[in-house]
Amino acid sequence: MTEMVYGTVPVRDTEPVLPKWWRTVDRWTLTCILLLSCIGLLLGLAASPPLAAKNGFAPFHYVQRQAFFGGVAVVAMVLTSMMSPVLVRRLAILGFIGAFIALALLPVLGTDFGKGAVRWYSLGFASVQPSEFLKPVFVVTAAWMLAASQDVNGPPGRMWSFALCVTIVLMLAMQPDFGQACLVLFGWGVMYFVAGAPMLLLVGMAALVVLGGAFAYNNSEHFARRIDGFLSPDIDPRTQMGYATNAIQEGGLFGVGVGEGQVKWSLPDAHTDFIIAVAAEEYGLILVLAIIALYAIIVVRSLLRLMRERDPFIRLAGTGIACMFGVQAMINIGVAVRLLPAKGMTLPFVSYGGSSVIASAIGVGMLLAFTRTRPQGQLSELLGRGR
């Protein structure tokens, strides 16, 4: 009788947070992420001692730091995955504002650590790379704008998100960091495509990317040197690409044995950008294929779960994060096997780097929050009723 007069009485969710999270989260994706983190520590044990010896540290100095950053990353990922999509969106917008300001101040306060590109803030005990944290929060912010533009009398979210994307790409290109710039542009393009962009516009954007690449080649010695090295039919065995190529060939199917690899003594970035070369040399093609399979499972499962989602914001944000995560892994592996020019991009959860692993964990935590099981009907059922 009370319900007839006053309406339905709302039912309060009394299920504890942890059991509810475990019941609704995608445990396959979570398991794959943890396995990648373990593989990263395993490869760090092989790749980092030569660098530690060169810099005067204890043999497992970088492994201990990677374990610490990995622990912080797992906590950040789990806490983020427990949030509601609304809370994720709000915090991501705040995070985007902070990361954008940090990126804008890099030319004034940043450092290049002798690598020729001003990408980091030095904190003394550690360094921070703002672009790593900017990627996931930009995707969520842009998805919010794109979703809002689909509402009746909604704001011009497509134009706003495009303007933000172009601004960020230009700021990254000025560092120069063309790899991260391409990744940001790709993430936005995927969301724009899912949001219903016309193919003609996407073709036009691809043409602009080609023109931008030609301009960068003619005006950036850093960019031109990497493209020329990639296009050259001969590989200088004394370059990073030469060492990585030789290591992959030596590894074969099962590798030369744990601790027996030599590439870690020659490559300065063996523990970061070229970690897959260490894996291929010591553990062979078997481990490389296992790593690729783990990334593929994460991306495919996430996209399949997002296909059932009604909320356009969740679909767009989740798709952008999943595709950006997968493409970053693909670029890192592609560079190591010389399918792509050198980009200076880490392998998520496997390469050494505090900014990379923590930012990747926050992004995957957002993805897990978006793909959690929620009480809603299938999207196909909703479309069926509308016929």
Instruction: Give the Cβ contact number of residue 339 at 10 Å.
Output: 11
For 70-86, how does the pLDDT look when each residue is reduced to its tens digit (9 = 90+)?
999 999 999 999 999 99
In 3D space, the residue among 51, 29, 3 whose CA is nearest the CA of residue 353 turns out to be 51
Helix ranges (DSSP H) in 149-274: 157-173, 178-194, 199-219, 221-231, 240-251
Closest CA to 234 of 155, 338, 130: 338
Q: What is the pLDDT of residue 1?
A: 43
192 lies in some domain: yes
Q: How many angstroms separate the CA atoms of 169 and 173, rounded?
A: 6
Show the domain range for 162. 19-373
pLDDT of 12: 53
Q: In this structure, are residues 216 and 223 in contact, taking their beta carbons and an 8 Å threshold?
A: yes
Structural domain contains residue 381: no
- 4 lies in some domain: no
Domain count for the chain, please give it: 1
Residues 97 and 78 sit within 8 Å (Cβ to Cβ): no
- In a domain, residue 61? The reply is yes
Task: Tell me whether residue 384 is in a domain.
Answer: no
Is 264 inside any structural domain? yes
How do beta strands 127-128 and 121-122 pair? antiparallel
> What gap in Å lies between CA 43 and CA 9, rounded to an integer?
55
pLDDT, position 39: 94
What are the residue ranges in the chain where pLDDT is below 50?
1-11, 377, 382, 385-387
Report pLDDT for 236.
58
pLDDT tens digit sequence for 30-57? 999 999 999 999 998 888 888 888 888 8
Geometric angle at alpha carbon 105, from 99 and 110, rounded to 5°: 100
Only one residue has tokens 């990995």, namely: 70
pTM of the model: 0.88
Residue 367, phi then psi, degrees to nearest 5: -60, -45
Residue 382 belongs to a domain: no
- Is 352 a domain residue? yes
Q: What is the pLDDT of residue 164?
A: 94
Report pLDDT for 311.
Answer: 92
pLDDT given for residue 291 in this prediction: 96
The one-letter code for the residue type at 322 is A
